[in-house]
Chains A and B, each alone.
Chain A
Amino acid sequence: MSTPRAPAADPVVSAQSAASARPALPRSSVRGAAQLGLAARPGVEAVAAKGWLRAHKWLLLRRLSQLGVLALFLVGPWFGCWVVKGNLTSSLTLGVLPLSDPFVLAQSLAAGHLPYRQALIGGGIVFAFYLAFGGRLFCSWVCPMNLVTDAAAWLRRRLGLKGGKAPAAASRYWLLGFVLLAAALSGSLAWEWLNPVSMLHRALLFGFGLAWGLVGGVFLYDLLIAPRGWCGHLCPQGAFYSLLGRASLLGVSAARRRDCNDCMDCFAVCPEPQVIRPALKAAGQDHPLILDGDCTRCGRCIDVCGKSVFRITTRFNRSES
């Protein structure tokens, strides 16, 4: 991977074959910096090419969504103006719309309790939404823990921390299985005693206690021990939503992959970098659509690509352009 390559004469060739020649790489890009022995600043090329705002469009929208969801919950306890009551595990919006987290309901069912209709309807709505649009939209657009792990990943990149070993990416599916097993065996929502995701959100709304420690632990784990370790490898809630997002209608497509200059910036910012390769490099599939359920639809790859390779589209649009 460290072999410098000459600029490609024909961009189509460069996109189709990994071994062919490449255009020159910007010094700030991940690969360009690696070749020069510099610290990489993924996204700088995109800012230069598209302007700061367009190079941060999806990130800004996502932060808006995450903080907006939080705000909807918080205006109640802070200002006495109740929009959404409860928390992410189960809530009631404007007194009429129930929403529940199907992951927690699954644990409850495994523990031997059939929830009331209100929770089941709420869980059904959420389930259907993520089934249709991509399960891990929850992770990147709603989950408050994402702010923490994104911050850890950002700091990791900024400090140029290398190394660290993440557990195998399949760990989360095992953990998901064991979480349900533990619920069934203990007859209680065992995981909810520890679940940093629901705990962080609840703590923001109802008071922290020692939950700071757990959240800080996840941050430090991601920062120092395992890159993208929590969301990308361990979190059983993310695993649940990954499974749910297998057949989603929305997806990211590397539609203009023939323009790719292999700068590797998208891989550096993607929380699940393994999902990009099949679509971008046509490895194991022909079309440029990222179909992997692990893709969080965060759109960060769209932002940081200076060549505007990626775009959000539907699962039926498999064309290249």
Chain B
Amino acid sequence: MKDANDTPAPARATTGTRSSRRRFLKEAAGVAGGAGLLALGAGLYARQAAALPATALRPPGALAEGDFLSACVRCGLCARDCPYDTLKLARLGDAPATGTPYFEARGVPCEMCEDIPCVVACPTGALDHGLTDITQARMGLAVLIDHETCLNFLGLRCDVCYRVCPVIDKAITLEKSHNPRSDRHAMLLPTVHSDYCTGCGKCEKACVLPGEAAIKVLPLKLAQGSRAEHYRRGWEEKEAAGGSLIGEQVELPVRGMEDKAYGDTRLRPGETPLPQPEAVPAAPAGSGLDSRWKP
């Protein structure tokens, strides 16, 4: 290094310009290749790391992950202004992209501040300033993911996730259903509604199960199926059109149920069930396929 600096300039100029140009080209090619490789590596790594793990949630108002990664400069201003220390910046080695803000619902959930200080603090627009009503945030979507361990699914009345939800009775409701095990009790099943759930994570944080929660907030993409657009929901069409699209339906009476509403099969006190068709004995094993169809 010292040598190169100490070579008088004229001495360098005397080495033929052609060979020096060739050397320059060779060096440039090598350097470009090296730099390109490094940048390519960074790019590939970026690509791979762009897959956000399912437990990492972005702050309110975050752009869709792809756009977020082009917008967030990893300054941490959102995290600094979060009064609950919900948000943290991913460190090298954490699953989300290094330096980007995220939170984990089971760790510290979002308290849904009314003034959304994190969004206001974001200087780049990675958190969309258009979000001014925190109930419109969609950080994720809660999913009651484990029907085997959730206490309400076992027939108990835990309800904790329902009680803590800041959007109670809209984002989570308790839906009554029959408990087939006892056959005489109801089960009140916590049911999340995507129209209202902000993905704040308070339900997951509060779930009383000792380790993993039975209700989890997942990224929308994981939590939701895509809508079957080709399937026309008759009831929606009917409501939109203000009446059935195919005119009044003729409802044929069902024998023995003439005085009941269509589809109502409940027995009244004193009523006896209709005689069942005689039970057909099961085909003996090994007799092959027999559909019992007779013309």
Contact = CB atoms under 8 A, between A and B. Distances in A.
Contacts of B91: 203, 206-211
Interface stretch (A44-52, A116-124, A241-249): A116-124
Q: Is the interface of B mostly helix, strand, loop or mixed?
A: helix
Interface string B17-28: 000000000011
A190 B42 CA distance: 6
Contacts of B145: none
Contacts of B253: none
Interface string A180-213: 0111011111111110001100110111111101
A202 B74 CA distance: 8
Nearest to B48: A193
A14 B72 CA distance: 56
A104 B8 contact: no
Given A89-B74, A179-B39, A98 B123 contact: yes
A205 B76 contact: yes
A213 B49 CA distance: 18
B70 A202 contact: no
Contacts of B72: 189
Nearest to A273: B5
Contacts of A119: 73, 123-125
Nearest to A109: B70
B1 interface: yes
Interface in B49-102: 49-50, 66-67, 69-77, 79-81, 88-94, 97-99
A34 B56 CA distance: 58
B8 to A, nearest CB: 5
B148 interface: no
B74 A115 contact: no
A227 B39 CA distance: 22
Contact of B70 (A112, A178, A284): A112
Given A119-B124, A170-B28, A175-B39, A227 B73 contact: no
Most buried by A among B3, B28, B81, B92: B92
A168 B31 contact: yes
B36 A89 contact: no
A193 B46 contact: yes
Nearest to A267: B5
Interface in A52-91: 76, 82, 85-87, 89-91
A108 interface: yes
B83 to A, nearest CB: 13
Contacts of A211: 91-92
Contacts of B268: none
B77 A91 contact: yes
Given A116-B122, A191-B39, 18 more contacts: A85-B121, A108-B73, A113-B124, A167-B34, A168-B27, A174-B36, A175-B39, A177-B35, A186-B46, A186-B47, A188-B69, A189-B74, A193-B46, A193-B97, A202-B76, A208-B91, A211-B92, A283-B9
Sort A-B residue pairs by CB-CB distance and give the 6 closest, nearest first. Answer: A209-B91, A178-B39, A90-B75, A111-B70, A188-B69, A174-B35
12 contacts: A85-B77, A170-B27, A177-B35, A186-B43, A186-B47, A189-B69, A194-B42, A198-B74, A199-B92, A206-B76, A206-B91, A211-B92
